[in-house]
Structure 1
Amino acid sequence: MRTGHIAVAFLFSCLLLTQRASAQLAVDSSTILEDIRSWMEYLTTDRLRGRVEGSPQNQEVTRAIADYFSSLGLKPYLDSGLLHTFYRDNTDTSISTSNVIGWLPGSEKPEEFIVLSAHFDHVQVGYYNKTDKIYNGANDNASGTSVLLAIAKQLVLTGPYKRSIVFCAFNAEEAGLIGSADFADKINPEQIVAGINLEMLGYPQYGRQAVMLTGMYNSDLYKILRKRAEAASIRFRRERGDLFERSDNYSLAKKGIPAHTIMASDDREPCYHHPCDELKRMNIPNMAALAKGIIYMMQGLLDGSETPTRIRVQ
């Protein structure tokens, strides 16, 4: 290689490193950490009794997330405001429940949407443990919700991006993906470029800063995220089981949207749906590192340079 080519290559490498560093420095790591810690402490308190769908405690959390989205300046998506209310029959009663949906409009492609989601409900109070009857759901899924809310603030502060972002705090996931299914029925799926769902990020079952992407080979989203994973210090593990069909990404995937879930643990985790799923077991610094890495891996989606293939679900 001639000297001139070496100089050009060196300058190009420096430019790439500068761009990579600036993208990472734009994210406030300390704020992410404190936001996640604050939300985790709130969502996992015994007073909220697991945030089960239809309960007064679940309604309190719904309002808290809506107030937070409003404070960030997120706009309502569709015409229903930040709260998207749906109903379902439960024995002889009808339960009114709400998703919380906020929209950050894109600067150049506002009609193209990236969905970032997590569910905040958990399972009913149990009666199988004499000393602890409350299923706090710290990992499932206060963790995904806290990371979602921390990322939302960072993307508002560093945005707008070329594409629009829709932040979805889904409800009634534990009752059968009901909240996300209601959302999927109200949208135009052709406008949704990709969906990233956040689930069980608090307990690093796969190791530090290691995640699994469910349904990883069902679209090109895995390849897009993987391009930046090393620079984001994120390691991907091979997926297992039927988890692609068991979280809110699946409601969108059935509409053809390349929607997948990022997880740091799965249902083999010993406290999954047990009373021991509590805050003290969560690795909050690791959650903050994952949040920062997810933001960095999403850049190609947000700036419009990357578009995953559509999904065909039978």
Structure 2
Amino acid sequence: MFIEQAYKGNNTWWRVLITAAITMGIFIMNFIMFLIVSKEDMAKTYDLMKQLPKNLSLFINLLPFVFLLGILFLLVYFLHERSILSLTTSRKKVDYKRILFSFGLIVFISLASFVVSYQMDSSNIKWNFNPINFSILFVLSCLLLPFQIGLEEYLFRGFLMQQVGIVVKNRWFPLVLTSVLFGLFHSANPEVAEMGFGVMTFYIGTGFLLGIMTLMDEGLELSLGFHLGNNLIAATLITSDFSALQTDAVFKYSGVQNPNDMLTEMIISIVITYPIILFILAKKYNWTNWKQKLTGKIIAIPELVNVEND
């Protein structure tokens, strides 16, 4: 019933277009940059950003998401005339226990993976901890990352998945479309410039993981917790010169990274780690009827439709 929540609002095409255009602006700009800007100019831009204090750079990068998420909420509430709850979940209220569980799950897996890899080979991982800088980083991350991941989840897995779903009247197409868009709109990240377009398979694969979570669980709670935990660990645990976010993390990768090795690690995550995560969630939350929830038809339920479209 998650996609069907869109029927609670006003879905006139021009309203949907306005909301999508305004809130997707930052992602569209990133994608355009990837297409038209040369690698040399992109490298110069990244080098310029690296000259800023890391915490200031993080603040500048994340601040726009505060305003964009607020704008998305305002447009959904006033322009589409429906609640933020309907954008979040099909449940009667937000299940914060789900958010905390998926957050804890990915944090545990990430930390465990780091410990194992560190024990196997720590030659290229150096201690980077600075108490003052890290404290500022941690506070900034806790304050601003929820807005960054919130915009991405509410926009891709929330608004777009719901609106596309009620147009095409099925579940598989919005799952595929939002996952691909999620990947493509990360194309301006430094990792892509460093490792090539192959890294997009990781972003798209992550989009599919989060989309499957959303459809199987009928809400954004699990994807919100997972995304926040993943990004928080990425920002605070270990950084590198080619990370999307340059931070004063606890550790720093100091070696010369082989793009093929990085891509292999990402593919392993998609092929092995992600199915394990879905298996754990499926067992905990008793997911059933996978085919219907991931590919089934969308039917307008009369009691959900409470606004007449123009």
**Is the pair's TM-score, using the shorter chain for normalization, greater than 0.5?**
no
Q: Give the structure-1-normalised TM-score.
A: 0.29
Question: Which one has a larger percent strand, Structure 1 or Structure 2?
Answer: 1
Question: Which one has a larger percent helix, Structure 1 or Structure 2?
Answer: 2
